[in-house]
Amino acid sequence: MDRALEMLVFCTVVDKGTFVGATHPLNMSKAAISHYVSGLEERLGARLLHRTTRRLSLTDEGRQFYHQAKDVLAMMDAAEEAVSSAAPEPVGVLRVNAPVSFGVLHLGPIWAEFMKAYPRGELDISLNDRLVDLVEGGV
């Protein structure tokens, strides 16, 4: 299994307090989450959680692993952020020429998202139902 995913699942269960509480943020079933935590405990040879029908609590080993796993996950996030923020942001003009009906139905909803994601970008949109020579029209 993916060790980073095991850490993420375990830390999310601890943060949310229940397996069910971790299902939504992880987009996993309770059974899958239980499988990851059990696999992690088996691989480590240590029980990390005390499970009862009403609550979960960390064992001493679980508490130690949780704090170190949180640090590892934070370092992974920082490493990804350092690389992704160093990547150049798309800049310039995106020219779009489309039929009116297509633009209204399909492009309209995504224009705001595009501008939010790429604030340094610029949209040049032309909606019309006539045929356009792309070279002549500068598209």
| DSSP string covering 38-51 | HHHHHHHTS--EEE
- For the chain, domain boundaries: 3-86, 92-137
pLDDT higher than threshold 90 for residue 88: no
| One CATH from 1.10.10.10, 2.40.50.140, 3.40.50.620, 3.40.366.10 for 3-86 | 1.10.10.10
pLDDT higher than threshold 60 for residue 1: no
3-state secondary structure of 103: helix
pLDDT in tens, 10-57: 999 999 999 999 999 999 999 999 999 999 999 999 999 998 888 899
Instruction: Please list, residue by residue across 15-26, b when 16 or more beta carbons sit within 10 angstroms of its beta carbon and e when fewer do.
Output: ebeebebbbeeb
Per-residue model confidence (pLDDT) at position 137: 62
Per-residue model confidence (pLDDT) at position 96: 84
Per-residue model confidence (pLDDT) at position 82: 80
pLDDT higher than threshold 80 for residue 91: no
Tell me if 3-86 shares its fold with 92-137: no
Fold designation for 92-137: D-Maltodextrin-Binding Protein; domain 2 (3.40.190)
What pLDDT band is residue 87 in, cutting at 50, 70 and 90?
low
